[in-house]
Chain A
């Protein structure tokens, strides 16, 4: 069974601060996706990382896939209140048949 652990579970910071969210597993994934979810809505895809060591940037968000494709991180620079939400990482199996999600990191950015 593939498991993904996210840390921290909760994070409350002031506007302008930087933060990093971690997603770790003992399993290798063919790709890893990061989603953001608002209350009462479905997850919205932010990025997909596929290659070990890959780094992708999306404005103030930087995503990294570990060299061994077992872990990933999301770094947010100068967080804004609009970044508030639940951040989920999800690993895809080799066939892309299902996603295994982490438990999520609930981020609150205070103005």
Chain B
């Protein structure tokens, strides 16, 4: 399978704990995006990387959130001191940075976070 993969698929944690999610993009894609989706809503943009550089961050990404893509391949999203409002599906997507599919983003299966 050469699609976007995410790990874990599900995470249940207690309020105040830290959690980290991983995303492996499609291998030839330079761009990697993180989105958050709450129940009954469309995904909301969080941040994106061009190779290892984090180029844009949404206002939704509070100080408790940090994302990295150290070698320009996989990415991690960490949430510190989780709150119940962080419960959501966290989606990762990737896209090539040029060519006819420039704007097409391909999504992974998501990580469902539940904060108790």
Residues in chain A within 8 A of chain B (CB atoms): 4, 6, 30-31, 33, 35, 40-45, 48, 50, 88, 90, 92, 96-104
Tell me how far the C-beta of A8 lies from the nearest C-beta in chain B, rounded to whole angstroms.
Answer: 14
Chain A residues with CB below 8 A from B95, complex form: 96
Tell me how far the C-beta of B34 lies from the nearest C-beta in chain A, rounded to whole angstroms.
Answer: 10
Closest chain B residue to A6 by CB distance?
B42
Chain B residues with CB below 8 A from A44, complex form: 107
Residues in chain B within 8 A of chain A (CB atoms): 4, 6, 31, 33, 35, 40-45, 48, 55-56, 58, 91, 93, 95, 101-110, 112
**Pair B102/A96 contact, Cβ less than 8 Å:** yes
Closest chain B residue to A31 by CB distance?
B103
Contact of A42 among B31, B45, B108 (CB under 8 A): B108
CA A98 – CA B93 in complex, angstroms?
Answer: 10
